Amino acid sequence: MNKINLHEVSEYVGQNIGIFHQKRIHSLDGLKLPHVLKRKNPYLFRAKHVLTAEQIVKSLVDAHISSNEETLFGDWLEGLALFINERAYGGWKSGITGIDLEFDADGVRNIVAIKSGPNWSNASQIAKMRLDFKTAQKTLRTSNSGLRIVAVNGCCYGRDSRPDKGDYFKYCGQRFWEFISGDSELYTAIVEPLGYQAKERNEEFVRSYAQMINRFTKEFMNSFCKDSGEIAWDELVRFNSSAAQRKNKAKKGTP
């Protein structure tokens, strides 16, 4: 194991954090109002006594952004984890389905499925991960039957008070970053460089966000508001849920 050079980690973050911010903005550029309208429950807006087009639009866009950013940043953190582990243990990105990272330490081959946080899964997703671990172990032992293999679900933040899950381990937050780096304090050390140019990059995102809210609000009002300015709830519900509309689209070959 090699000791982690925090200056190298800071340099990596500074050089690559822009990718995350660029993807945040790009995700807004590709967003369309009809798509997000179809994903949300129009009855909920009515039940909450939502009265303005902007309230609906902001709720739709903010929900999309929250979900999308979690995924984008999770992917980015996976790249950081791979970089750190390669420096510490010579690890590599796995080519096996469902496995993100492989590295050898103390005579053991560690196979790691990296997730953003600890609450990422339901029962079927856990079953799928367990199956991926078993398949990976079988694949690796095909060429080396004596290989000792440990399966790990690594989570970039959070806690899990019972890491031993029987057939795999779940390391979260501090435990995960220490596991891949050998440094028990790395989980706090990486916070500072993540703020590199955050203010400047966020201002660019906020401008794109404001433009989208204005554009979507205008589009929503044109399609789902009466001349009086009142929301036409029946039209909104039809757009979201009408079986006839879906049949018409299917005939035209549109999504």
Helices (H), the chain: 6-29, 33-39, 42-47, 53-89, 123-143, 174-181, 186-189, 191-194, 198-224, 233-241, 243-252
DSSP, res 4: P
Q: How far apart are CA 131 and CA 10, in angstroms?
A: 36
199: number of Cβ within 10 Å: 7
Single-letter amino acid code for the residue at 215: R
Single-letter amino acid code for the residue at 37: L
Single-letter amino acid code for the residue at 89: Y
pLDDT at 59 over 60: yes
User: pLDDT (tens digit, 9 = 90+) per residue, 121-156?
Assistant: 899 999 999 999 999 999 999 988 889 999 999 999
Q: How far apart are CA 133 and CA 138, in angstroms?
A: 9
Q: How far apart are CA 241 and CA 137, in angstroms?
A: 46
Please report the pLDDT score of residue 252 as a whole number.
42
Q: What pairing do the DSSP bridges indicate for beta strands 149-155 and 101-105?
A: unpaired
CA dihedral 162, 164, 165, 169 (to 10 degrees): 110
User: pLDDT (tens digit, 9 = 90+) per residue, 74-102?
Assistant: 899 999 999 999 999 999 999 999 999 99
Q: How far apart are CA 197 and CA 60, in angstroms?
A: 28
User: pLDDT (tens digit, 9 = 90+) per residue, 9-44?
Assistant: 989 988 888 888 888 888 888 889 999 999 889 999
- Among all chains, which residue has been given the structure tokens 């690796």? 140
Q: State percent of the chain over pLDDT 90.
A: 68
User: pLDDT (tens digit, 9 = 90+) per residue, 210-222?
Assistant: 999 999 999 999 9
pLDDT at 248 over 60: no
Q: pLDDT grade, residue 245 (50/70/90)?
A: low
